[in-house]
Amino acid sequence: MKYSVTYDAYYEDEGDLWTEEGCGEPDCKYCTKRPSRPSLRTQAVKEEDEAYDD
Amino acid sequence: MRVDGDSKIVISDFYSGCNLDCTFDFDPDFDIDQSAFSVTGGEILSISLEVDSVDMLIKPIDEIVNIIIDTNLEDGDFSGVSVSVTEVTVESNLDPVMRIDGGVDQIVKFAPVPVFFEGHQSTPREEIVKYEWDFGDGAKAEGFNAAHVYQAPGTYTATLTISDAAGNFETVENTVIATKRSTVYYVKNAGNDNADGLSYETAWRTADHAFRKRYNLGDEVLFTPGETFKLENPVDLSSFSNIYGVLFGANNSSKPATINVQFDSGYVFPNARGMSDITFSNLIFNMNGSTLMQATRGQSILFLDCILNEPYQGFLMQGDVKGFFIIRCGINHSTGIQLYSTGSRIAILDSKFNFSENHIAYLEVVNVGVIVNNTFAYPTFGRHAFRLCGREKPTTNNVWIVGNKITGWKSPGQTRFNWMLVHIAPNVPGKNQIIKNIHFKYNTIRNGETLLNIGNVEDSEFRENLLVTEDTYTGGRRIIIGSKHHFDTRPCKNCLFTKNIAVVTKVDEGVTSLFSIQNYPGHSGLEFSENTLLCYGGLTRFMWFETPDMLNGVNSHHNHIGAMGQDAQRIDLDVDSELFQIGGRFVGGLRYTLAEWQDSCSLEEGTTVE
């Protein structure tokens, strides 16, 4: 499990999984301002965004 | 009859006579040694115990138990018969188990010593109604887990006492030795970084210098209480990886020292791997938008009487840290998650976490924990005040969450209260996440749309919580069983919701549902009893089932539903209100009054509406 500052989410390399996105309400400013999160299989996350391996 | 210190009930004054029905007030689950009984002129065939079927958790003491002694004597043979009894010892089957710091035999560490106490392995779990801890230094606690900090050097005997519903108890104890630290390094504003730091007169001057040294086991770095120090640069990782037994700050001080972080991003302690028995005490960190640390693979890390102001993120533990203690701490105004964990033996006590532009507590894994008497308040909309998830390894289980205040609000720019305050459910799809043995009791959850949402939760108890909201949003479901939230989940099993009180006011137009059973079939062993819902206006459902099959596995009884308020036009809640619903969303579906509900599905026996 690693943490991406850019996307403000935790993700798993195995399975290419992101953690939850939040409420998903269309009028939630927090949700709407978050960048969409790429598939980790197609785009590497920058080194400075990474936390540490489990 | 008396009860001695070993929880053995000794019957020494047995009723004697030909009437063979005798009454005692001990737990009928006990086994009695029948050889202690004899009857003149006859033979005892069997001895049995009878007790009325009662909820022993509600009325634990003084239930009358009849001892029925069956003999070969016929009615006419009872003349002159007496029952004689030698001393009968009835032993409880309570077996207390105390594990300290994961199972070590004895703790000998430098003060202050944080200790994680596990009592959850005591048996039989279903009979234990109280776990009491006496830490041996005057402090006490309750709970199947506990944590405590021994601040003064000394030898302490910690005791766990478990009790059953009849008041029988058993104890177990262990020893903790807190020793005096060996070397103290001093830091003061008028110091000199070129000095040796080994006395107040030869103290160092800067926080950068104090955090740069490679310390040894038992060292203490005393930042002079009341003084403020700048930290110009992140601490070099060579100082803080694999560091053991060091105290930063001041133990037992009435004044904190303050560290003003001068950089506005990144970590104060980058790459804090492998710390063991590290304490931060009596320190205020003005974080300036930075993050304190992300502790990985460490054990016994203590933050005691520390405050973090305006961090990006706060206390982070990752990679199964074993033993993380946050005690009497606070985080104020963060831009990121204040508290994050994937760890074992997590203790969060007497702390306050307020205002975040993200989650307050996001606890991804708590493999055995105690979370007591904290405040988790004011996350932003779309984020949680208290999030507990689960992973397969390590799993989230045996967490004691008691006496916390969990508070929402209308965060800046929002017109609605937080969409969900407490969420105990998976957070990643496809990971077989498990959450077990959560005891969520005596907490207050205030001002949110959904106040509590659980999914994948098993063998857990939600007892005597107070839920209050002034929500006006039209879709409020206050307690959701069956969190989905985008992820594959499994049903909830064997969960008890009892004696919770929900007060929901000002639901102007919409529907409020106290319990919503939803999202996937197969929930089982869910019991809802003695809960109270007080609602002020609006359309109220006590219980909503998304589909009829979700009725299976639910046992609901002896709840109380009432309306409150003075404006008669707003009170549409009475015995004829449609308080139960199957299907539909906020309206629609099949709706039932209490009487119709009882007729149709036999649920809600003993429930009242007024």
Q: pLDDT tens across B173-213, in order?
A: 999 999 999 899 999 999 999 999 999 999 999 999 999 99
Taking an 8 Å cut-off on Cβ atoms, the answer to whether B430 and A1 are in contact is no
Neighbour count for residue B96 (Cβ, 10 Å): 21
Compare CB distances from A30 to B342, B382, B431 and report the shortest one's residue. Answer: B382
Q: In whole angstroms, give the CA distance from residue B13 to residue B269.
A: 68
Question: Angle at Cα B389 formed by Cα B160 and Cα B556, nearest 5°?
Answer: 75
Alpha-carbon distance A49 to nearest alpha carbon in chain B (angstroms): 10
Residues of chain A contacting residue B293, judged by C-beta atoms under 8 Å apart: none
Distance from the B427 Cα atom to the nearest Cα atom in chain A, whole angstroms: 6
Q: What is the rounded (10 degree) CA torsion for B145, B151, B155, B161? A: -20
B172 φ/ψ sector (left φ>0, alpha ψ -120 to 50, else beta)? beta
pLDDT exceeding 90 applies to what percent of chain B? 59
Q: How far apart are CA B15 and CA B21, in angstroms?
A: 9
pLDDT of residue B79: 59
Question: Residues 6 or more apart from B54 whose CB is under 8 A from it?
Answer: B63
**ipTM tops the 0.90 cut:** no
What DSSP string runs through A9-51? EEEETTTTEE-------TT-HHHHTSPPPPPTTTSPPPGGG--
State yes or no: cis peptide before B124, omega within 30 of 0.
yes
Question: So what's the pLDDT on residue B86?
Answer: 56
Instruction: Please check whether residue B493 is in contact with residue B554, taking contact to mean a CB–CB distance below 8 angstroms.
Output: no
The reply to whether omega before B394 is within 30° of 0 (cis) is yes
pLDDT of residue B4: 36
* Probe site for chain B from A10, A12, A49 (most B CB atoms < 10 A): A10
Find residues 1-54 of chain A whose CB sits inside 8 Å of chain B.
Answer: 1, 3, 8, 10, 12, 15, 17-25, 28-31, 51-54
Confidence band of B167 (pLDDT split at 50, 70, 90): confident
Q: Check CB contact of B520 with chain A, cutoff 8 Å.
A: no
pLDDT of residue B584: 86
Closest of B451, B379, B471, B381 to residue A28, by C-alpha: B381
Q: Given pLDDT bands bounded at 50, 70 and 90, which one contains residue B54?
A: very low
pLDDT for the residue numbered B319: 77
Q: How far away is chain B from the Cα of A40, in angstroms, using its nearest Cα?
A: 15
* Exposed/middle/buried for residue B567 (C-beta within 10 Å: 0-12, 13-18, 19+): exposed
Does the pLDDT at position B61 exceed 90? no
Of B277-281, B375-379, B589-593, least confident by mean pLDDT is B589-593
Residue B545 has pLDDT above 90, yes or no: yes
Q: Taking CB atoms and an 8 Å limit, are B428 and A23 in contact across chains?
A: no
Mean pLDDT of B68-78: 67
Instruction: Please check the confidence at residue B462 and state whether its pLDDT lies above 60.
Output: yes
Structure confidence by residue, pLDDT tens digits, B313-330: 999 888 778 999 999 999
Instruction: Return phi, psi of residue B456, to 5°.
Output: 60, 25
Query: Are the Cβ atoms of B357 and A20 closer than 8 angstroms?
Result: no
User: What DSSP letter does each residue of B267-335 carry, written as one string?
Assistant: EEETT-BS-EEEEEESEEEE-TT-EEEEEES-EEEEEES-EEES-SS-EEEEEEEEEEEEES-EEEEES
Q: Chain B contacts of A1, Cβ < 8 Å?
A: 318, 342, 364
User: Do A28 and B318 lie within an 8 Å CB cutoff?
Assistant: no
- Whole-number average pLDDT of chain B: 85
> Does pLDDT of B166 surpass 80?
no
pLDDT, residue B18, reads: 35
Q: What is the pLDDT of residue B37?
A: 72
Quick one: pLDDT at residue B346? 96
